[in-house]
Amino acid sequence: MIKMKRICHLIFRLLFLLDGGVWSLRNLSISVPRAVLSGEGQAAVLRCSYDLEGAALYSIRWYRAETEFYRYVPREMPPTMVFPLPGASVDLAQSDHQQVRIVNLNRRLSGDYQCEVSADAPLFHTDIRSAPLTVVDPPFRAPRLSVTQRNYARGDVIKANCSVDESYPASNITWILDDHKIAETMSWRTSDLDFKERGAFSHLELTILETGHYKVGLTYTSASLNRIYQDHYVYGREETDDLNVVRYTMVPPESGQFSLGCVATIFDIYARQSEAAYIKEDTPHPASVTGEDSSGVVPSFSITLTSICVASVLLHAL
Ligand SMILES: *[C@@H]1O[C@H](CO)[C@@H](O)[C@H](O)[C@H]1NC(C)=O
Ligand SMILES: *[C@@H]1O[C@H](CO)[C@@H](O)[C@H](O)[C@H]1NC(C)=O
Ligand SMILES: *[C@@H]1O[C@H](CO)[C@@H](O)[C@H](O)[C@H]1NC(C)=O
């Protein structure tokens, strides 16, 4: 059926060329939302605009992945014909020669949608446009963040995981440090068209520079940390590659404290943030200065700590 139609289409195109290029259908364009939520009460309005240059409209047809689900032929009574679209229905009251409104979609209706317009006799000039629509089943809960440590010393590498419940399509994950986006991971490719729900996961390794480093290497102004945050990395994540790690290096914030969070997003219709983790710098032990903590255990602990530090500095130097 479709093949036949395509052949006719070609013949008409040929006729059209022989006719000397008198256009009777111009500027066909399709407008489809990139994504909509699934479920009851949700709707997608697909539009098709065209210029027939005075010629009459013969038909407008809508397809989802090559299967026709809506036809409008003004010469027929009634002009509208609807074909079953498993997993959704067409809202006839709000569908016409320019748009079709689909309600209660399920995610299996994700895919390419086409609009085909034909001008009336004699040329029946026909054109078609296509655009993708993704029907989204969002994750159930907010993303969950886990962090190896809530206190840091300069030079530490803080590790954090962000995991997001299954959704269709899988969420992208953005890492947020003090309200700045620092990295983004992509969890889904348009080739994943099996309609399976998938979780998303991102692993971050955050290195906090030692003071000495930024004095040498970085131009850093205490008024604003934006400088270093401007780096913006996008990583593709392979399905099987769980070792994919986002690495980010920061200068220690002046305040000695920062917050870390992650956001799960699906196109522009879903975004949800994890709870923030507040991470503080270990304060140098006040014992020797204030005499407050003189329990006797602390000094030897400090000495141990100091020797570890010295040892690691020496190791660094090697
Ligand atoms: C239609 O397309 C022509 C070029 O083919 C353009 O000049 C014109 O502005 C378009 N009209 C509309 C309404 O988009
Ligand atoms: C992050 O996930 C990995 C792999 O599941 C696990 O080995 C590691 O302990 C987790 N780290 C944190 C900070 O939760
Ligand atoms: C994930 O991010 C990429 C890159 O910004 C984008 O092209 C893609 O549409 C996003 N996917 C989802 C599900 O939001």
* 149 secondary structure, DSSP code: -
Q: What is the mean pLDDT of residues 65-78?
A: 93
* pLDDT of 163: 95
- The size of the chain, in residues, is 318
Question: CB of 260 within 8 A of CB of 276?
Answer: yes
Q: Which atom of ligand 2 is nearest to the CA of 146?
A: 14
Strand-pairing partners, residue 209, are none
Q: 């004095």: which residue's tokens? A: 215
CA of 221 relative to ligand 2 center, distance in Å: 34
CA of 265 relative to ligand 3 center, distance in Å: 8
270 lines ligand 3 (CB under 6 A): no
Q: Where are the beta strands (DSSP E) in 8-156?
A: 26-31, 35-37, 43-51, 57-64, 67-72, 80-82, 89-90, 99-103, 111-119, 126-136, 144-147, 151-152
* pLDDT of 9: 58
- Percent of the chain clearing pLDDT 90 (strictly above): 47
Q: Which atom of ligand 1 is nearest to the CA of 27?
A: 1
Distances 15 to 3, 66, 109, 110, 141 between C-alpha atoms, Å: 18, 25, 36, 36, 58
Q: 């994950």: which residue's tokens? A: 173
Q: Rounded to an integer, what distance in angstroms lies between the CA atom of residue 182 and that of residue 277?
A: 15
- Superfamily, domain 21-136: Immunoglobulins (2.60.40.10)
Stated as kind and residue range, the H or E segment containing 306 is helix 297-317
On the question of a common fold for 21-136 and 144-281, the answer reads yes
* pLDDT of 297: 39
pLDDT in tens, 112-156: 999 999 998 888 899 999 999 999 999 999 999 999 999 999 889
* pLDDT of 298: 38
pLDDT in tens, 188-243: 665 566 888 999 998 888 888 886 444 433 333 332 232 333 333 333 333 334 45
Q: Was domain 144-281 assigned CATH 2.60.40.10?
A: yes
- The tokens for 257 are 């404290």
Strand-pairing partners, residue 62, are 70, 115
Closest CA to 190 of 248, 253, 236, 126: 236
Domain locations in the chain as residue ranges: 21-136, 144-281
Q: What is the mean pLDDT of residues 163-169?
A: 95
* pLDDT of 105: 94
Mean confidence (pLDDT) of the chain: 78
pLDDT confidence tier of residue 265, bands split at 50, 70 and 90: very high
Q: Which atom of ligand 3 is nearest to the CA of 170?
A: 13
CA of 161 relative to ligand 2 center, distance in Å: 6
Coil, strand, or helix at residue 190? coil
The 3-state secondary structure of 207-231, one letter per residue? EECCHHHHHHHCCCECCECHHHHCC
* pLDDT of 171: 92
Question: CB of 251 within 8 A of CB of 276?
Answer: no
Coil, strand, or helix at residue 138? coil
Which ligand gives the minimal distance to the CA of 260? 2
Distances 313 to 18, 301, 307, 308, 310 between C-alpha atoms, Å: 82, 18, 10, 9, 5
- The rounded Cα 120 to chain-centroid distance in angstroms is 42
Closest CA to 185 of 147, 249, 234: 234
Question: CB of 187 within 8 A of CB of 172?
Answer: yes
**Full-model pTM:** 0.74
Q: Rounded to an integer, what distance in angstroms lies between the CA atom of residue 300 and that of residue 282?
A: 18
Q: Which residue has the CA at smallest separation from atom 3 of ligand 1?
A: 27
CA of 5 relative to ligand 2 center, distance in Å: 56
